[in-house]
Amino acid sequence: MRMVTTKVLGLAAGLILGGVTASTLMAATPADPLAYLMGRWVGNAILTTSSGPSKFKCIVTYLPRKDGPGMRQNMRCDNGQNFKFHAATDLNVQNGKVTGVWKDPINEIEGTLDGNVTEQGFEVDLSGRYFQAKMAVAGRGCDQSVKVMPVHADVFRELAATLKKC
Q: Specify whether 22 is located in the same domain as 89.
A: no
Residue 13's domain spans which residues? 1-30
State how far the Cα of 40 lies from the Cα of 166, in Å rounded to an integer: 9
What rounded mean pLDDT belongs to the chain? Answer: 82
User: Contact 98/114 with Cβ under 8 angstroms?
Assistant: yes
pLDDT for the residue numbered 5: 37
Q: Mean per-residue pLDDT for 112-140?
A: 95
Same domain, 2 and 58: no
pTM of the entire structure? 0.77
Residues 6+ apart with CB under 8 A from 15: none
Task: Flag whether pLDDT at 25 surpasses 90.
Answer: no
Tally the domains of the chain: 2
Bridge partners of 148, per DSSP, are: 135, 159
- Give residue-wise pLDDT tens across range 29-52: 457 788 899 999 999 999 898 888
Q: What is residue 152's predicted lDDT score, i.e. its pLDDT?
A: 84
pLDDT digits (tens, 9 = 90+) for 51-89: 889 999 999 999 998 887 789 999 999 988 877 889 999
